[in-house]
């Protein structure tokens, strides 16, 4: 098995073992769904580089919905934010039952 194939298998395994859980959102449904799809795509594409995933999400959101979006991706941190109504979404990746990450 080649190194590239091994990385692809690992990425496929991680994708099968986790799913995004929306903790809070006051976005309109269409915007929320589109944003979730963008987040999943970016995190899969840059599974080992949170900075690149965040940059991709921010740049796409700025172009599509106007500037001033902030994207934070990482582990083990807290935050407090203020936001414009109907523009905030918070989600996290959660292991599926019986799986581990």
pLDDT per position as a tens digit, 40-53: 899 889 988 989 99
Which element (helix H / strand E) includes 94? strand 89-95
Average pLDDT, the chain: 75
- Residues contacting residue 50 through CB under 8 Å, at least 6 positions apart: 73, 74
Q: Which is nearest to 89 in space by CA: 38, 32, 29, 43?
A: 32
Global pTM reads 0.64
């Amino acid at each position: 098995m080649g190194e590239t194939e091994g990385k692809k298998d690992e990425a496929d395994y991680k994708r099968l073992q986790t799913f995004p859980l929306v903790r809070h959102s006051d976005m309109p449904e269409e915007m929320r769904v589109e944003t979730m799809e963008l987040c999943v795509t970016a995190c899969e594409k840059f599974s080992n580089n949170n900075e690149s995933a965040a940059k991709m999400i921010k740049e796409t959101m700025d172009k599509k919905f106007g500037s001033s979006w902030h994207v934070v991706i990482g582990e083990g941190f807290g935050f407090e934010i203020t936001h414009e109504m109907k523009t905030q979404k918070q989600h996290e990746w959660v292991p599926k039952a019986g799986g581990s990450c």
